[in-house]
Structure 1
Amino acid sequence: MVIGTVLGLIQALFLILAAKPILNYMGVNSNLEAPFCMDKFFLDKDSPMIKPAQQYLTLRSLGAPSLLLSLAMQGIFRGFKDTKTPLYATTVGNLANVVLDPIFMFVFRMGVSGAAIAHVISQYLISLILLWKLIENIDLLPPSFKDLQFDRFLKNGFLLMVRVIAVTFCVTLAASLAARQGSTTMAAFQICLQIWLATSLLADGLAVSAQTILASAFVKKDYDKARTTASRVLQLGFFLGLVPSVTIIFGLPYASRLFTTEVSVLQLIRVTIPFIAVTQPINALAFIFDGINYGASDYAYSAYSMVVVAVISILCLFILSSTHGYFGIWIALSIYMSLRTFTGFLRVGTGTGPWSFLRV
């Protein structure tokens, strides 16, 4: 919790102080041309996205400490095998967000700034609920500073941070390349990306359950339970990916009007639907493999394999976006998720590392 809060404060300060340069590098220009990009990706000066983007980023940054603290506390509850408390807390927080969004955005006419404020309030509400429940069950004050054992957390935390940076950089780069193609392309990309990630993350619940059960099984050296758990969640994950895949194919052409009424944006969303739908089972398996490898405490492999995947995916993003534009970005993202699934399967399927018992 200490590490999460400190990292959140550092992140908030960095994003607030460097909001405009970050957005410039993301392809949203103010009075500068976008750095390190090819001519075809240049935006006109004074992009219409710069002002609302800067307002949103600055305000959302204020929620970084609460976000990272809440993620740390959710990890603590998972360690207790208590998945109900984080569920209730996030449900209350997100419902508050849903209610406050239209109030701030439309009643108070604050636009994207109102959306950011609503999200920040919901994040702090989640953190307060989790902290309140945690204080009821745990004495959070350690006997001494040494008992916090920062070195243990920083070692595994560094590996996971490397992985998170690699994962985040790929998606962020994709957004940057989309932004360089104009506000219409960026609007369509962001809507599709949120749908793509939201439906894929449905499998994250299975991944968390697998992580918790497997961690317990590996500690007890109950390899039969580990084998059965891994097999079962992978089967469930694949079928869980098929459900949103079918729903998106038939439902998104009509549901897309809930997000925008701009004809040009809707046209781009429609041509993106095949990418979103086809990759759902692949995405679900990628998240499941993450949970399985975390449950086996295989942090080093998870981090290093993700770096390799990120390097290949970044090259694909640059090459395919320059040759195929908007479609190229989605082709590269599909390759990215496929590689994530492959590296996860490679570790378990070959029975290496902590999975060597599978070869017996």
Structure 2
Amino acid sequence: MQIALPTALALTADPIASLIDTAFIGHIGPVELAAVGVSIAVFNQVSKIAIFPLVSVTTSFVAEEDATKSLSIEADDGGVLETGYAVNQEMELEDLIPQVESTCKSSLIPSSYKKTNVRRQIPSASAALVIGSVLGIIQALFLILAAKPILNYMGVESNSTMLKPAQQYLTLRSLGAPAVLLSLAMQGVFRGFKDTKTPLFAIVVGDVANIILDPIFIFILRMGVSGAAIAHVISQYLISLMLLWRLIKEVDLLPPSIKDLQIGRFLKNGSMLLVRVIAVTFCVTLAASLAARQGSTSMAAFQVCLQIWLATSLLADGLAVAGQAILASAFAKKDYTKATATASRVLQVGLVLGLVLSAVLVVVLQFAPRLFTADVNVLKLIGVGIPSRLYWSLDCIVYLYESAHIRWFLEDRDWYGTLEIS
């Protein structure tokens, strides 16, 4: 829970900010709300194809490398290690001497309480940042250049009133794609270190900035949906800068050589997850496309329901991240008992969480829609969709199971015999 709770709060912060975006845009009009809904569906579809494999693989690889390095350090017989410092084996002698002197002065401090000022050498962290930056730039160029054809394919015809605001929002929000993927790559690194509080702080600051800028750009400056997109982009770059500033203090981001980046390992394991992500996100994108073809009223209702569902279902990601980080460390240390306990606990908590969220959604959706729109027709359609929300949160159980076991599938090993999981 120490890992899962901050992660869940961080993951939920962005959907909550999107909910507030939706509420502001909904008061502009149902056409704008529907247009933004289609654009967000397109942006999320393209983003998640890159985001989920990148973050998941980064978390596992960083946790594994960090655990392996810790084991090698503990096995070293150096005098400084006996006093509790985790010293990099490649450290130069002149850098080591001041630390030896400082340990002599504080020999009474328990070793578990001491921390090192030496930056970690984690090649997976550097690789994640390189891949995230490249994918972000590619995504931005793709969405900006192909915005209109994609929206046409999604059911927004050339003569539709939704086309212009949808294209404006998608084009402007795409400018933040490099920041989104880079920040998520860095979040994967911190999760691998089991540090979920740093990403939480950065995300909360960025989302608060987004919430403050929304009404200023949308209403005061009268920029409409373009203002909402600009506010979101600014918040994403703020998050990225905060995470990068903190990560530079923790990790040496310049690896000894290009081979140490292990780009091939990332691409190999990421490609396995890519197929799964495309399958999952395609369903939501297809639903958005069908809703858009029925008109702005249907799309607006769909957008409200989808954002509420995302805000709640992403709570499950917190447990998934905790399970991933602990499993990767446990396997690196060959602690299979801990791995078994982790998998069991994730499934137990996931079942309870899914049932609780189902009940919460049924209650919340009776009152929440009026916060997003005053249109009677949109509210009526949202009401039709309420009973189906009961089953949506149960997806958390399946998602957690897949995420918790992703570590085993990535390495292409049969862990079931070792763990005796039925």
Tell me if both proteins adopt one fold, taking TM over 0.5 as the criterion. Answer: yes
Match runs of 1:129-208 below 5 Å: 129-208=242-321
Match runs of 1:188-337 below 5 Å: 188-280=301-393, 282-294=394-406, 296-299=407-410
Percent identical: 69
The letter of the residue matching 1:286 is V
Residue number in structure 1 paired with 2:171: 58
The letter of the residue matching 2:155 is G
Residue 274 of structure 1: SS of its match in structure 2?
Answer: coil
The letter of the residue matching 2:409 is D
The letter of the residue matching 1:88 is F
Contact 1:237 1:284 in 2 (8 A): yes
Structure 1 Cα separation of the partners of residues 197 and 251 of structure 2:
17
Contact 2:408 2:414 in 1 (8 A): no
Contact 2:317 2:400 in 1 (8 A): yes
Contact 1:185 1:265 in 2 (8 A): yes
Contact 2:316 2:396 in 1 (8 A): yes
1:297–1:65: structure 2 CA closer, same or farther, 3 Å change rule? farther
- Identify, as 1 or 2, the structure richer in helix: 1
Residue number in structure 1 paired with 2:146: 18
The letter of the residue matching 2:219 is F
Moved over 3 A (4+): none
- Return the offset for 1:355: 2.4
- Return the offset for 1:354: 2.4
- Return the offset for 1:180: 0.7
- Return the offset for 1:300: 8.0
Residue number in structure 2 paired with 1:336: none
Q: TM-score, normalised by structure 2?
A: 0.67
Aligned pair count? 293
Higher mean C-alpha displacement, 156-165 vs 185-194:
156-165
1:100–1:218: structure 2 CA closer, same or farther, 3 Å change rule? same
Q: TM-score, normalised by structure 1?
A: 0.78
Residue number in structure 1 paired with 2:99: none
Contact 1:56 1:113 in 2 (8 A): yes
**RCO higher in structure (CA 8 A, sep ≥6):** 2
Query: Quick check: 1:111 aligned with 2:224?
Result: yes
After superposition, the CA RMSD in angstroms is 1.6
Q: Which runs of 5+ in 2 are unaligned?
A: 1-128
Residue 28 of structure 1: SS of its match in structure 2?
Answer: coil
The letter of the residue matching 1:133 is R
Contact 2:156 2:292 in 1 (8 A): yes
Contact 1:159 1:300 in 2 (8 A): no
Contact 1:60 1:120 in 2 (8 A): yes
Q: Which runs of 5+ in 1 are unaligned?
A: 31-45, 302-351
Higher mean C-alpha displacement, 235-244 vs 47-56:
235-244
The letter of the residue matching 1:357 is T
Contact 1:215 1:297 in 2 (8 A): no
Query: Quick check: 1:359 aligned with 2:420?
Result: yes
The letter of the residue matching 2:312 is T
Structure 2 Cα separation of the partners of residues 158 and 203 of structure 1:
23
Structure 2 Cα separation of the partners of residues 29 and 53 of structure 1:
11
